[in-house]
Amino acid sequence: MSAIPQAPPSQLPLTGLRGMVADWSSDRQAFHVAWGKLMMWIFLLSDTFVFGSFLTGYMTVRASTTAPWPNTSEVFALRIGGAELPLLLIAIMTFVLISSSGTMAMAVNYAYQRKRRQAALLMFATAAFGVAFVSMQAFEWTKLIVQEGVRPWGNAMGAAQFGASFFMITGFHGLHVTAGVIYLGVVATRLLRGRYDDPALPPGRRGNYQIVEIAGLYWHFVDLVWVFIFAVFYLW
C-alpha cells in the first residue's frame, strides 16, 4: 500500500498567530472576507460611534435642560388645506429612505446574478430616492430657518439647544446621504460601462460585482441611522 504523499514543511499553511501575521504581510485575504468589504465594515463601525455620541449628547441635553423644549409634532407639522398635519413631511422622508433600501437590496441581488444593467438601474433608482430625501430635508431646513427663526445658537420656541441639536444631527446624516448618492451614481455608471468585467472570463462569469454589495452596506447603514434619528429626535 503506497503512502499518501505529504507536502513539504515549507508549503504547509501556518496556523495561529504566525499564520495571521503571514497572511497579512503577504496581502492575502484575511477573515475570509474581501478587503473592500472589511474596510467598509470598519468604517461603518467608526461611524456608529460618531452617530451614537451625537444621539447620546442630544438625549443628555434634552433631559438636563430647564428651558421648555419645543413640541416636535408642532414644529415639524405641515399646513395643508388649513389643517396642521404633524410630522407629515418626516413620515414621507422616512418612507422614501426605507423604500430606497428595497431598491438597493434588489440591486445587490441582481449583482449576485451578474446582471449588471438591472443592478445599475436599481442603483440609480436608489440614488434618486436619496436625492428626494435630501431635497425634502432642504425644504425642512428652509422652513425652520426662514419661518420659525431656528438657529444653531438660538431658538424662538424654547430651549436654545434645540437648534444646535437639530442642525448637527440631521446635517451630519444629510451629508452621509449626499455622499451615498454620489457613491451610488459613480458605481452604477462604472457598472454600466463594464469597468468591473474581466474580458478573459466567459460571459456568464465575467463580472465581479462585489462593489455593489459594499455600496449597499453603506446605504443600509445610512437608512438604519435615520430610523434611530426619527425615533429619538422626532418622536420623543
Tens of pLDDT, residue by residue over 15-38, are 667 766 766 665 555 566 778 898
- What was the pLDDT predicted at 74? 86
Cell of 129: 430616492
How many percent of the chain have pLDDT more than 70? 83
CA 7 – CA 30 distance, rounded (Å): 23
Domains of the chain: 34-234 (1.20.120.80)
Say whether pLDDT at 164 is over 70. Answer: yes
How many percent of the chain have pLDDT more than 90? 58
Say whether pLDDT at 215 is over 80. Answer: yes
- What was the pLDDT predicted at 11? 52
Largest CA distance in the chain: 94
Alpha carbons within 13 angstroms on the beta-carbon side of residue 101 total 15
- What was the pLDDT predicted at 169? 96
The mean pLDDT of 188-211, rounded to a whole number, is: 77
- What was the pLDDT predicted at 31? 60
| Confidence band, pLDDT 50/70/90 cuts, at residue 219 | very high
